[in-house]
Amino acid sequence: MMVQVDMLHTPVLLDAVLQYLDPRPGETYLDLTAGYGGHARSVLSRTLGAPATLVDRDKTAIDHLKKQFQRKQVRIVYSDFLSASLALEKTNKQFDLILADLGVSSPHLNTASRGFSLTHNGPLDMRMDLNQTQTAEAIINTYSEDNLYGLFKKYGEEPFARSIAKAIVLNRPLKQTTELANLIAKVVRWKSHKIHPATRVFQALRIVVNDELEQLGKALPIWIQLLKPGGRLVIISFHSLEDRIVKHALKEVSDGRYDAILRPLIKTPIIASPKEIAINPRARSAKLRAAVKNKNLPVQNFEKFMTGKEREAHANTGKKHLPSL
């Protein structure tokens, strides 16, 4: 039985997700960033009671998922997607459908106390998992100017990274989101019709606080292993750094090889229509990539498709404490 709850989050690119996942009765489903269940509701209405695993690292989201999906075939896992993926890999489970929506949910952005919002004042937190210790405030108030510059440049692709880093060091301590956002707005020339000038810095802080790109790079090879032959993988990214990692990982195992593991379902990423963006502005930067699995490949062979950095990252992932699945 599924309990109705308020629609806290509008799922991005839902029509495209359903088109390329193409869920069918009896197919198993893994949602690695289930959030508030927007995509999962639609997928599970088509798999008709088949087993599903829904993962999220946010306790509030997990509580909502447990209220919505109360049948025994749906397993709710409180974990980051990398730890959950590693645990599933150890059980040799595979799924027909795998979805990863890498965006920040609306409740995170709209809840001031979580510290993600540029416009709702709150503490500089930005943790997806409140059990972890590092916060955006700690980074802002302890990193050197050079380290802040490097962080904003690398993870935010911020052209004014040096000026912003210098202003932060001169005006510390900073404890509130609007303090930081307003300071950046003074440093950067801003036209009101464009995105807020602090957007890239907030993105960079969120990525580092939550180890987002490292986890994504390590998890992608595992997701391919978790997919059954004939299974479909859909990934939604929200900035160029994420999309670059996803694009490269999929290309490495599907790029015209006679023994390709994956076959891309689309040549260029799907983006939101003007109509969807008007309804849900946060969809404006979403990019969807999708692929179907041709065959299984043992891990030792799969690793030959990875770059050096990816191979090293994959080898080091076994050291984490894994959730029981």
Residue-range domain boundaries for the chain: 14-106+212-319, 130-209
Print burial letters for 281-290: b (CB count within 10 Å at least 16), e (below 16): ebbebbbbbb
Name which of 31, 43, 33 is nearest 2 in CA terms: 43
Report strand pairing: 270-271 vs 287-293: antiparallel
% of the chain surpassing 70 pLDDT: 85
pLDDT digits (tens, 9 = 90+) for 182-219: 999 999 977 655 788 999 999 999 999 999 999 999 99
Task: Count the alpha carbons within 13 Å of 110 in the hemisphere toward its beta carbon.
Answer: 7
Rounded Cα gap, residues 159 and 218, in angstroms: 28
Is the pTM higher than 0.75? The answer reads: yes
What pLDDT sits at residue 104? 78
Cα-only R_g, the chain = 20
In the block, tokens 């952005």 appear at 109
pLDDT digits (tens, 9 = 90+) for 99-147: 999 987 767 777 888 988 888 899 999 998 888 999 999 999 999 999 9
**Distances in Å between the alpha carbon of 108 and those of 127, 210, 280?**
10, 13, 15
Say if residues 101 and 236 touch (Cβ distance below 8 Å): yes
* Calculated CA dihedral for residues 51, 269, 86, 130, nearest 10 degrees: -90
Secondary element (H or E) of residue 137: helix 136-142
Say if residues 221 and 310 touch (Cβ distance below 8 Å): yes
| 110: helix, strand or coil | helix
pLDDT of 257 > 90? The answer is no
Q: What CATH homologous superfamily does 14-106+212-319 map to?
A: Vaccinia Virus protein VP39 (3.40.50.150)
CATH architecture, range 130-209: Orthogonal Bundle (1.10)
Secondary element (H or E) of residue 230: strand 227-237
Region 152-167 average pLDDT: 96
pLDDT of 7 > 90? The answer is no
Name which of 74, 58, 80, 22 is nearest 321 in CA terms: 80
What pLDDT sits at residue 308? 46
In the block, tokens 């645990």 appear at 87
Can you say whether residue 35 is alpha, beta or left, with left for phi > 0 and alpha for psi between -120 and 50 degrees? left
Print burial letters for 152-178: b (CB count within 10 Å at least 16), e (below 16): bbebbebebbeebbebbbeeeebeebb
Say if residues 145 and 166 touch (Cβ distance below 8 Å): yes
